[in-house]
A and B are shown apart, each in its own frame.
Chain A
Amino acid sequence: EAQVTQNPRYLITVTGKKLTVTCSQNMNHEYMSWYRQDPGLGLRQIYYSMNVEVTDKGDVPEGYKVSRKEKRNFPLILESPSPNQTSLYFCASSLSPHSTEAFFGQGTRLTVV
């Protein structure tokens, strides 16, 4: 089954404790991205990757890092999480940077206390 898989689905952590949210897709997609969703703000793009070893900042990259060592994986790293990073996070992928349809993971609900 074609899918984007995020882990974990839920995470509660403390301020400053490094964490990684994993994202994996099995569709051989080139383009992957991370979004955060906050009430009243819609989804905002954090980082994106056009292909292996090619990543770039989205609209709200502060406090986040990503890597794209393999085509299928695009982890989101919070080196020192803060409470304002409490949010619902989504990973998405599409066949190419210019593809029309994006496929989303099920989301990771992160709470930083």
Chain B
Amino acid sequence: SQQGEEDPQALSIQEGENATMNCSYKTSINNLQWYRQNSGRGLVHLILIRSNEREKHSGRLRVTLDTSKKSSSLLITASRAADTASYFCAPKVSGGYNKLIFGAGTRLAVHP
């Protein structure tokens, strides 16, 4: 399975601190996407990193990808209470249709 597995399962930090979440997967991928889910609501696409990229930035988000280790990390800098959510990685298999496989996610709590 190309399921992304996020680590840690839960993370609790103070506002202003950085939050790092990790993702591991099992097969070769075309790209890897990160999504955010606010409590009980729909997922929102955050950022995509392609297999030939090693690092990508979007605002306070930084994503890295190591295809040799089949792993990715999402860093949120200067976190805010509004970043409190669950974060999912979704690896996409090369050539496959848009079937996104999600793990159980990382629950991030940012305390004021």
Interface residues of A (CB under 8 A from B): 4, 31, 33, 35, 40-43, 45, 48, 50, 58, 88, 90, 92, 94, 96-107, 109
Interface size band for B: 20 to 34
On whether the beta carbons of B41 and A100 are closer than 8 Å, the reply is: no
Q: Considering the chains assembled together, what is the distance between the CA atoms of A98 and B92 in angstroms? A: 10
- Pull 30 A–B residue pairs with CB atoms less than 8 Å apart, ordered by A: A31-B98, A33-B98, A33-B99, A35-B102, A41-B104, A42-B3, A42-B102, A42-B105, A43-B43, A43-B102, A45-B99, A45-B100, A48-B97, A50-B97, A88-B40, A94-B98, A97-B97, A97-B98, A98-B97, A98-B98, A100-B31, A100-B33, A100-B48, A100-B98, A103-B45, A104-B42, A104-B43, A106-B41, A107-B40, A107-B42
Number of A-B contacts (CB under 8 A): 61
What B residues does A98 contact at CB under 8 A?
97-98
On whether the beta carbons of A40 and B42 are closer than 8 Å, the reply is: no
